Amino acid sequence: MKFFVDTAEIADIRELNDLGMVDGVTTNPSLILKSGRDILEVTKEICDIVSGPVSAEVIATEADAMIAEGRKLAAIAPNIAVKLPLTWDGLKACKVLTGEGHMVNVTLCFSANQALIAAKAGATFISPFIGRLDDINLDGMDLIADIRTIYDNYGFETQILAASIRSVNHVLESARIGADVMTAPPEVIRKLAAHPLTDKGLETFLKDAAKAGIKIV
Ligand code: E4P
């Protein structure tokens, strides 16, 4: 499973990338707002750090304007994936931009039919939003499983990018189902390493090491 980090914070991207945890990055206008940075500048900086796909989202809502914005974003670096909302105009822009050889991440996917039609439009990635479905008492994992089944039934090459991940269980379940990629905030990726029995065990070992007077360097 590929790991994308869902942030525009440079320090987090650097730290996780140095650890080999970053196969790509996803951003959106809310994450750009949080970073306080200019979208073109911060996206370029991210692309200089990370070699995998870096999603940068358009803000236009009409196909021709989305295409123009997508071309401008794609010109930042060869590893840009233009992020387009799952609307009819977004699908039109997806067809054109993928036809020009650009990667496209179709975002804000909340149904299997939306994922099916994005694959038909040639999307490189489809981003089903797990957490936002959970927020309205629907099961985001059912959506990931349905898309996996449908894409496998017909051999669609669009990669399932499990998004809006809020917990380590979302990561585990996405991996079990076979999502190609997951994108999570840095804090969720760090939590994947945590276990209370690891902390408890380490505490005991350190106490015993002190009693034994162990010194290594
Ligand atoms: C994905 O590409 C989105 O940027 C992100 O996962 C949205 O997550 P949220 O629902 O926690 O805002």
Ligand 1 atom nearest 184 alpha carbon: 6
62 — pLDDT class (breaks 50, 70, 90): very high
Alpha-carbon distance 139 to 39, whole Å? 33
Ligand 1 midpoint to CA 179 (Å): 16
Stretch 125-133: mean pLDDT: 98
> For the structural domain made of 2-212, what CATH number should be given?
3.20.20.70
**How many other C-beta atoms are found inside a 10 Å radius of the C-beta of residue 207?**
10
* Beta-strand relationship, 54-57 and 24-26: parallel
128 — pLDDT class (breaks 50, 70, 90): very high
Ligand 1 midpoint to CA 209 (Å): 44
Alpha-carbon distance 119 to 95, whole Å? 10
185 within ligand 1 shell (Cβ under 6 A): no
Helix (H), strand (E), coil (C) string for the chain: CEEEEECCCHHHHHHHHHCCCCCEEECCHHHHHHHCCCHHHHHHHHHHHCCCCEEEECCCCCHHHHHHHHHHHHCCCCCEEEEEECCHHHHHHHHHHHHCCCEEEEEEECCHHHHHHHHHCCCCEEEEEHHHHHHCCCCHHHHHHHHHHHHHHHCCCCEEEEECCCCHHHHHHHHHHCCCEEEECHHHHHHCCCCHHHHHHHHHHHHHHHHHCCCCC
Residue from 190, 188, 193 nearest 164 by CA: 188
Please state the domain extents for the chain.
2-212
Alpha-carbon distance 184 to 113, whole Å? 24
Stretch 14-42: mean pLDDT: 97
- In contact, 146 and 165? CB cutoff 8 Å: no
57 within ligand 1 shell (Cβ under 6 A): no
44 within ligand 1 shell (Cβ under 6 A): no
Rounded percentage of the chain residues whose pLDDT exceeds 70: 100
Alpha-carbon distance 28 to 67, whole Å? 17
Mean pLDDT of the chain: 98
Ligand 1, atom 2, residue with closest C-alpha: 26
Ligand 1, atom 12, residue with closest C-alpha: 164
27 — pLDDT class (breaks 50, 70, 90): very high
132 within ligand 1 shell (Cβ under 6 A): yes
Ligand 1, atom 1, residue with closest C-alpha: 163
142 — pLDDT class (breaks 50, 70, 90): very high
Q: What is the pLDDT of residue 134?
A: 96
Q: How far is CA 6 from CA 29, 41, 152, 160, 163, in A?
A: 12, 17, 26, 15, 8
Stretch 74-94: mean pLDDT: 98
Q: Is 207 left (phi over 0), alpha (psi -120 to 50) or beta?
A: alpha
Active-site residues, by number, are: 83
Q: What is the pLDDT of residue 19?
A: 96
Q: pTM value?
A: 0.96
Ligand 1, atom 8, residue with closest C-alpha: 164
